[in-house]
């Protein structure tokens, strides 16, 4: 009889704990998957899987620990300490998952000659770029409540600046896309650079006919004909392309290696 009553109280407490955990996890997941890793960055950047795994374990383990430890016959102080430790462990795991996703989140989608490149904090290496980022105009600065920002790259001021970057990149250092001092707005004045190297989306679909349906759905959403659509490859952990309209405005993304496609 005692065990049944104890089990009933513990199950109730675990269910309450589970509901609260799910609510907190939902808020955290909205931050990560809607702001830090919006589609397709959730697939391109890889931080989503680790975060969801950590949160999933966190949501399950907290209520399970409550189920094991909760006993209404314990002294109130002992019960408070037990539950406090469970919440502390669970909250620490959640913070670790959020920190992992925060560090891995994409900051910029940088246009670079004939491609876009996803840039995360880790792509800057050991170089402190905080000062360079702080000098950017406010709309170009990353923020923890901002989605990844699409930007362009200015031309080097002279041959010496160009050669310095090229030599460093060849030696394994940072390329133009990893140097915030080169960042400029991806606006109507800049987009002609992207447009000059973009390829017809028709060629991409011929190479990857399996994505024809997704491409048509995307174009229909923007009332754009296939013949007027273009693409540029996106470089990161997986192969995707950015779909562009005639003004090089990014409409969306499709999976596939754009570098394999010929006009």
Please check whether residues 54 and 8 belong to one and the same domain: yes
Number of domains in the chain: 3
Residue 40: φ, ψ to 5°: -100, 15
Please check whether residues 7 and 80 belong to one and the same domain: yes
Please check whether residues 115 and 72 belong to one and the same domain: no
Q: What element of type H or E holds 242? A: strand 240-244
Please check whether residues 59 and 120 belong to one and the same domain: no
Please check whether residues 213 and 252 belong to one and the same domain: yes
Structure-token pair, residue 45: 């950047």
Q: Is the pLDDT of residue 1 over 70?
A: no
| Structural domain of 238 | 194-263
Please check whether residues 152 and 203 belong to one and the same domain: no
Q: Is the pLDDT of residue 2 over 60?
A: no
Give the end of a domain, one of 50, 71, 104.
104
Please check whether residues 6 and 100 belong to one and the same domain: yes
Separation CA 26–CA 51 (nearest Å): 12
The pLDDT value recorded for residue 46 is 66
Separation CA 131–CA 86 (nearest Å): 40
Q: What is the pLDDT of residues 41-74, one digit of tens each?
A: 887 776 667 677 777 777 888 888 888 888 878 8
In DSSP terms, 37 is beta-bridged to: none
Task: Write the Ramachandran bin of 234: left for phi over 0, alpha for psi from -120 to 50, otherwise beta.
Answer: beta
Q: What is the pLDDT of residues 203-232, one digit of tens each?
A: 999 999 999 999 999 999 999 999 999 999
Q: What is the pLDDT of residues 231-253, one digit of tens each?
A: 999 998 888 999 999 999 999 99
Closest by CA to 238, choosing from 66, 49, 94, is 49
Please check whether residues 36 and 81 belong to one and the same domain: yes
Give the end of a domain, one of 129, 157, 186.
186
Please check whether residues 262 and 228 belong to one and the same domain: yes
Please check whether residues 211 and 247 belong to one and the same domain: yes
Residue 14: φ, ψ to 5°: -65, -35
Structure-token pair, residue 62: 């907290």
3-state helix, strand, coil in the chain (%, to 5): 60, 15, 25
Give the end of a domain, one of 104, 138, 171.
104
Q: What is the pLDDT of residues 29-42, one digit of tens each?
A: 888 888 998 888 88
Q: What is the pLDDT of residues 150-184, one digit of tens each?
A: 999 999 999 999 999 999 888 888 899 999 999 99
């Amino acid at each position: 009889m005692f065990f049944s009553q104890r089990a009933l109280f513990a199950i109730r407490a675990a269910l309450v704990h589970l509901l609260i955990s799910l609510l907190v996890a939902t808020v955290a997941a909205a931050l990560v998957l809607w702001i830090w890793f919006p589609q397709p960055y959730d697939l391109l950047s890889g931080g989503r899987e680790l975060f969801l795994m950590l949160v999933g374990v966190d949501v399950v383990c907290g209520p399970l620990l409550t189920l094991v430890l909760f006993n209404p016959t314990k002294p109130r102080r002992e019960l408070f300490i037990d539950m406090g430790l469970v919440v502390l462990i669970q909250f620490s795991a959640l913070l670790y998952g959020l920190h992992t996703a925060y560090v891995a989140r994409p900051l910029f989608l940088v246009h670079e000659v004939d491609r876009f490149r996803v840039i995360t904090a880790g792509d800057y290496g050991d170089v402190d770029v905080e000062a360079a980022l702080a000098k950017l105009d406010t709309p170009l600065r990353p923020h923890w409540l901002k989605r990844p920002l699409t930007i362009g790259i200015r031309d080097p001021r002279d041959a010496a600046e160009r050669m310095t970057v090229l030599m460093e990149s060849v030696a394994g250092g940072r390329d133009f896309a990893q140097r915030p001092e080169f960042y400029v707005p991806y606006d109507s004045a800049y987009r002609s650079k992207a447009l000059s190297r973009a390829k017809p989306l028709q060629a991409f679909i011929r190479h990857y006919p399996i994505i024809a349906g997704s491409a048509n759905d995307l174009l229909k959403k923007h009332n754009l004909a296939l013949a007027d659509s273009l693409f540029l490859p996106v470089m990161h952990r997986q192969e995707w392309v950015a779909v562009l309209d005639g003004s090089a405005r990014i409409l969306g993304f499709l999976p596939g290696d754009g570098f394999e496609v010929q006009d």
